[in-house]
């Protein structure tokens, strides 16, 4: 499984982990996404009625934690992180609205087509995500 | 004169302490019983809240799984619509229960259990809103449907 993200995710992720109260996000992402099979990642709330390219919203870090939006493409076994937000705390927010869900969905498609993506890898100690512009 | 006043105050205080000391010696069990009864009520309340939270979380997980169903027919869509209405109704009842615990919350009794209960209720709202969005609203957004089509061609 290859991991990618669009700039919306990267920007939010970096903003959040710079805050002490949200610093667990880095480890939460690693624990949930890395080392999992495509099938294992097919859980959460599926937004788009597609088995081959499910657009998923996943709750991370228990109740009241983070919400991560991502796209899976079965054919290539690629995962695209699209957005993340916390539910609680100073930067906490409610569900994103349908227009935003549609916007992110269209954006990830365009980014895949134009290769406007960041590849996500783990550093040597497997404790930190880093982003490489594709 | 001052010495007399002081003496009277010391005697009053002594008398008060003597009375309380006597009463406490006389009825420590009664007091202990009251404390135990109070603690029992708190334990029972915590138990009820934990059970309710588990039930709500289970409902949330079951609703989430419905989002993986494909090509639902009209009957299923109608059931989904009814399910959303029932879930909204359930949330209203649960929120009323949460509000009725305002005083308990202010006293920080069963703080963690009440917080988890509220999180589960909030998640119920999020889950049925997502369900409604997935089956009734997102499929009406043209660019959303178009994106799904284009992704299937990649």
Tens-digit pLDDT profile for residues A8-65? 999 999 999 999 889 899 999 999 999 999 999 999 999 999 999 999 999 997 655 8
Smallest Cβ–Cβ distance between A53 and the set B126, B129, B151 belongs to B151
* pLDDT computed for residue B56 by the predictor: 95
DSSP B70: -
State the nearest Cα–Cα gap between A66 and chain B, in angstroms: 12
| pLDDT tens-digit series, residues B125-136 | 999 999 999 999
Residue B39 or residue B21, greater confidence: B39
* pLDDT computed for residue B100 by the predictor: 93
Q: What are the residue boundaries of the structural domains of chain B, listed by start?
A: 30-153
Q: Is this model's pTM higher than 0.90 or not?
A: no
Q: Does B127 touch chain A (CB under 8 A)?
A: yes
User: Which residues pair with residue B53 across a beta bridge?
Assistant: none
Beta carbons of A122 and A132 less than 8 angstroms apart: no
* Mutation site for B-interface testing, chosen from A58, A59, A97, A102 by largest number of B Cβ within 10 Å: A102
pLDDT band at B1 (very low <50, low <70, confident <90, very high): low
The total number of structural domains in chain A stands at 1
State the nearest Cα–Cα gap between A72 and chain B, in angstroms: 10
* pLDDT computed for residue A62 by the predictor: 63
Q: In chain B, which residues have their Cβ closer than 8 Å to the Cβ of A99?
A: 141
* pLDDT computed for residue B17 by the predictor: 87
pLDDT band at B9 (very low <50, low <70, confident <90, very high): confident
How large is the average pLDDT for residues B143-149? Answer: 96
* pLDDT computed for residue B4 by the predictor: 77
**Cβ <8 Å between B119 and A112:** no
| pLDDT tens-digit series, residues A87-116 | 888 888 888 999 999 999 999 999 999 999
CATH number at residue A58: 3.30.2310.20
**Cβ <8 Å between B120 and A59:** no
Count of CB pairs separated by less than 8 Å, A with B: 76
Q: Does B52 touch chain A (CB under 8 A)?
A: no
φ, ψ of residue B61 in degrees (nearest 5): -65, -40
Q: Does B150 touch chain A (CB under 8 A)?
A: yes
Long-range pairs for A87-90 at CB < 8 Å and ≥24 separation? Answer: A87/B122, A88/A64, A89/A19, A89/A21, A89/A22, A90/A19, A90/A21
- The total of other beta-carbon atoms located within 10 Å of residue B135's CB is 19
CA A84 to chain centre: 6
Residues 73-132 of A with CB under 8 A from B: 73, 75, 87, 94-95, 98-99, 101-102, 105-106, 109, 112-113
In Å, the largest CA–CA distance within chain A is 39
Query: Can you spell out the DSSP letters for A31-81?
Result: HHHTT--HHHH--SEE-S--SSS-EEEEEESSTT-EEEEEEEETTTTEEEE
Q: How far is CA B43 from CA A39, A94, B50, B108, in A?
A: 41, 32, 11, 14
Here the ipTM equals 0.91
pLDDT at B22 over 90: no
Which domain range does residue A52 map to? 2-133
| pLDDT tens-digit series, residues B54-67 | 999 999 999 999 99
């Amino acid at each position: 499984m290859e991991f990618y993200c669009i700039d919306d995710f990267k920007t939010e992720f970096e903003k959040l982990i710079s805050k002490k109260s949200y610093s667990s996000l880095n480890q939460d992402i690693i624990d949930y996404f890395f080392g999992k099979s495509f099938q294992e990642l097919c859980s959460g709330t599926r937004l788009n009625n597609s088995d081959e390219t499910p657009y998923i919203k996943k709750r991370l870090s228990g109740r009241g934690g983070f919400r991560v939006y991502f796209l899976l493409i079965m054919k290539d076994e690629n995962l695209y992180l699209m957005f993340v937000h916390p539910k609680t705390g100073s930067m906490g927010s409610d569900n994103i609205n349908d227009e935003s869900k549609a916007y992110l969905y269209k954006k990830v498609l365009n980014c895949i087509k134009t290769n406007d993506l960041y590849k996500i890898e783990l550093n040597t100690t497997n404790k930190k995500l880093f982003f490489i512009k594709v | 004169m001052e010495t007399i006043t002081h003496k009277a105050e010391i005697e009053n205080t002594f008398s008060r302490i003597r009375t309380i000391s006597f009463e406490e010696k006389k009825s420590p069990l009664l007091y202990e019983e009251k404390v135990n009864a109070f603690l029992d009520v708190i334990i029972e309340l915590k138990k009820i809240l934990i059970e309710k939270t588990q039930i709500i979380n289970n409902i949330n997980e079951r609703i989430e799984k419905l989002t993986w169903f494909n090509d639902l027919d009209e009957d299923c869509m109608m059931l989904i619509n009814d399910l959303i209405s029932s879930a909204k109704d359930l949330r209203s009842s649960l929120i009323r229960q949460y509000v009725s615990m305002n005083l308990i919350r202010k006293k920080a009794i069963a703080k963690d259990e009440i917080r988890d209960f509220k999180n589960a209720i909030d998640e119920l709202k999020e889950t049925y809103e997502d369900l409604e969005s997935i089956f009734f609203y997102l499929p009406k957004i043209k660019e959303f449907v178009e994106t799904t089509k284009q992704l299937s061609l990649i």
